[in-house]
Structure 1
Amino acid sequence: MPTITRIENDHLSIDVSSLGAEMQAITSRDGANWLWNGDAAFWTGRSPVLFPIVGKAPDDTLLIDGKPYPMAQHGLARRREFSPAGASATACRFTLDASEDTLAIYPFDFRLSVEHSLDGATLTVAAEVENRGQDPMPFGFGFHPAFAWPLPGAEGRAHSVILDNGAEPDRQPLENGLLSPERQASPFNKGRLLLAHGLFENDALVFPEGAGDGLTYEAEGGPALKFRFENLPNLALWTKPGAPFLCVEPWHGTAAELGRSRELKDRPSTTVLASGETKRFAFSVTFPV
């Protein structure tokens, strides 16, 4: 059975499950709940870790050097039990190593480490992917945290996402979970996107490039969450229409493109890691507490 590890300080309390190294709760000292609660009526996820793919593969099948492997949407890590690898009052670390089970669907010897840590009112979630095998290892990686919408204490207020760089990045639409090769005009206006559930009627908003390395998710005249991204050039925003959450998803890798190569190494923004190398990916979010 999964175990829950709690880290906390004077500002925040974070619960992390050993299943998927997935956050289960972010609670501030005033009792406000900032993370989505996983209500099965909408979506049971809360903050899954996406590895070794982000999004879907055609027919849920990857090609690796021409050989097919079954792979569900967003990869294998979110459904695997991680091992504890150290904890303190304000930080915890979990690892997932390749096994006979994972090698059958992803033929690489990897170690995935995920650490959650607190520094004041800032939460940082960092992941390291290590290639422990001899062959170059292609993969995608992403974070998928879901935050309350409306934010605590901001019911009835307009909510926005504001890019630090003030950009208007193109959107790449999804068709049955795969990226369409076409690009669409940005829904951002001078870096600001006013959120509305109608934006998500055709799935997530995916911005393959140009969104920058930071943003703010805020309620007008209310609370604001400030994000920073490390080595995560792709951004998606997602909810199910009518659901009370917003996923802010920084990625390094996307779904496969419709009608293009099915090879894992050819997916957009795929990382290919040499033997013995490690790559780090991280995001931080500062809460108004």
Structure 2
Amino acid sequence: MPSLTRIANTDLSVDVSSLGAEVQSITTTDGKAWLWNGDAAFWTGRSPVLFPIVGKAPDDTVMIDGTPYAMAQHGFARRREFALESTTATACRYRLEASDDTRAVYPFDFGLTVEHSLDGRTLTVASTVENRGDTPMPFGFGYHPAFLWPLPGGAGQPHTVTLDNAGEPKRQPLEKGLLSTSRTPSPFDKGRIVLTQDQFLDDAMVFPEGAGDGLTYAAEGGPALKFHFENLPNLALWTKPGAPFLCIEPWHGTAAEFGGSRELRDRPFTTVLLPEESRRFAFSVTFPG
């Protein structure tokens, strides 16, 4: 059975599950809960870690050097039990390593460490992927945290996402869960978008390039969450229409392209690690005081 680790300081309390090293709750000391609760009526996820793919593969199958492997959407890490490596009052580190089970669907010797840490009102989630084998290792990586919509104290107010770089990145639509080869005009105006449920009738809004490394998710005149991304150039926003959450998803890697190559290494923004190489991916979110 999964176990929970709680980290806390005078501003925040965060629970992390050993299953997927996934955050289960984020609460400020005023008692406000900010993370989606995983209600199965809409979506059981809360803040899954995506590895070794982001998004879907054609027929839920990836090709690795010409050999097909079954691979469900967003990969297998979110369904695997992680080992707790270390914990302090304000930080915990979980680790997943390759096993016979994972090699059956992803034939590489990898290490994946996920560390959650608190500094004041900021939560940082930092992950390191290692290639512990002797062949180049392709993969995608991403985060999928779901925050309440409306935010606590923001009921009845328009909610916005504002990019730090004031960019207007083009959207790349999804076709049957795969990336279209076309791009559509940006829904951002000088870096700002006012969120509506209708924007998600055709699945997630995916912005492969140009969203920058930071944004603010806010209720107008109310609370605001400030995000910073490290080595995560792709951004997606997603909810199920009618659901009371918004996923803010920074990625390094996307779904396969519709009609494109099925090879894992050919997916957009795939990382390929040489033997003994590692790569770090992190995001932080600061909660209102």
1:159 aligns with 2:167: no
Gaps of 5+ in 2: none
Match of 1:234 in 2: 234
RMSD: 0.3
The alpha-carbon deviation at position 62 of structure 1 amounts to 0.3
Name the CA distance, whole Å, in 1 between partners of 2:255 and 2:107: 20
Name the CA distance, whole Å, in 2 between partners of 1:134 and 1:171: 37
The alpha-carbon deviation at position 64 of structure 1 amounts to 0.2
SS at match of 2:32: coil
The alpha-carbon deviation at position 66 of structure 1 amounts to 0.4
SS at match of 1:166: coil
Match of 1:193 in 2: 193
Gaps of 5+ in 1: none
The alpha-carbon deviation at position 21 of structure 1 amounts to 0.2
Q: Tell me the TM-score normalised to structure 2 length.
A: 1.00
Aligned residues: 289
Match of 1:53 in 2: 53
The alpha-carbon deviation at position 187 of structure 1 amounts to 0.4
Match of 2:84 in 1: 84
SS at match of 1:7: strand
The alpha-carbon deviation at position 213 of structure 1 amounts to 0.2
* Aligned sequence identity (%): 74
Tell me which amino acid in the other structure corresponds to 1:57.
A
The alpha-carbon deviation at position 70 of structure 1 amounts to 0.1
Match of 2:102 in 1: 102
**What pairs with 1:268-283 in structure 2 (closer than 5 Å)?**
268-283=268-283
Name the CA distance, whole Å, in 1 between partners of 2:71 and 2:128: 21
Superposed CA deviations along residues 6-49 of structure 1, whole A, max 9, x for unmatched, are: 00000000000000000000000011000000000000000000
The alpha-carbon deviation at position 178 of structure 1 amounts to 0.2
The alpha-carbon deviation at position 277 of structure 1 amounts to 0.6
Superposed CA deviations along residues 140-187 of structure 1, whole A, max 9, x for unmatched, are: 000000000000011000000000000100000001100000000000
Superposed CA deviations along residues 243-271 of structure 1, whole A, max 9, x for unmatched, are: 00000000000000000100000000000
Deviating runs (4+, > 3 A) in structure 1?
A: none
SS at match of 2:16: strand
Name the CA distance, whole Å, in 2 between partners of 1:248 and 1:278: 25
Name the CA distance, whole Å, in 1 between partners of 2:45 and 2:16: 13
Superposed CA deviations along residues 45-102 of structure 1, whole A, max 9, x for unmatched, are: 0000000000000000000000000000000100000000100000000000000000
SS at match of 2:78: helix
Name the CA distance, whole Å, in 2 between partners of 1:207 and 1:91: 31
SS at match of 1:59: helix
Name the CA distance, whole Å, in 2 between partners of 1:11 and 1:143: 23
Q: Tell me the TM-score normalised to structure 1 length.
A: 1.00
Superposed CA deviations along residues 95-132 of structure 1, whole A, max 9, x for unmatched, are: 00000000000000000000000000000000000000
Name the CA distance, whole Å, in 2 between partners of 1:175 and 1:202: 9
Name the CA distance, whole Å, in 1 between partners of 2:174 and 2:13: 35
The alpha-carbon deviation at position 206 of structure 1 amounts to 0.1
**What pairs with 1:212-227 in structure 2 (closer than 5 Å)?**
212-227=212-227
Superposed CA deviations along residues 191-223 of structure 1, whole A, max 9, x for unmatched, are: 001000000000000000000000000000000
Name the CA distance, whole Å, in 2 between partners of 1:145 and 1:279: 21
**What pairs with 1:249-260 in structure 2 (closer than 5 Å)?**
249-260=249-260
**What pairs with 1:1-289 in structure 2 (closer than 5 Å)?**
1-289=1-289
SS at match of 2:125: strand
Name the CA distance, whole Å, in 1 between partners of 2:56 and 2:90: 34
